[in-house]
Amino acid sequence: MVFDVTLYVRSTKTAAGEVRFDYSNEESRLRVPMPYLPSGNKPYPYYDPRGKTKYNFVLPEDEQKMVEDVQRVASEFGLTWRVVDLTKESRFSRWRFEHSKKIQILPALITGSGEIREGIMTKEQIEGFLSNKNKSAA
């Protein structure tokens, strides 16, 4: 899908906690070979704790406000928009972004025609930038 407006941001990844999974049920019994017992392989219960760290992705307040303003203004002008958080993207996507775009400062607002505005923008600046884009598309 082609978007009229794309906003690139970089959030901070912070650990929010640990999520644990308990696999100590009947299906997760370890089968230990016991050749000296007449029953052969005998299941022994075991506890296999597995966990995963849960992360929150936090934007600074001024960038979060800019994301909300871009969404609001683009919707008012009838433009399709998306927000790309480079922290959530894969390593390859981040590498490709850093080497293909000539962007030095994030957040960066890019139109479908390739116009780029870098840095924090106020709502009025976003409206001015997107109204020019909207006029040129009409």
Burial class, 35, CB count within 10 angstroms (exposed 0-12 / middle 13-18 / buried 19+): exposed
Burial pattern 77-92, b for ≥16 Cβ within 10 A else e, equals bebebebbebeeeeee
Q: What is the pLDDT of residue 28?
A: 46
Mean pLDDT, range 94-102, rounded to an integer: 77
Name the helix (H) or strand (E) containing 130. helix 123-137
Please provide the CATH number assigned to the domain covering 5-14+59-137: 3.40.30.10
Q: 118-131, pLDDT tens digit by residue?
A: 999 999 999 999 88
Q: What is the pLDDT of residues 12-44, one digit of tens each?
A: 988 888 777 655 554 444 455 555 555 555 555
Per the model's pLDDT, the better-predicted residue between 36 and 110 turns out to be 110
- What's residue 92's pLDDT? 85
Residues of the chain with CATH 3.40.30.10: 5-14+59-137
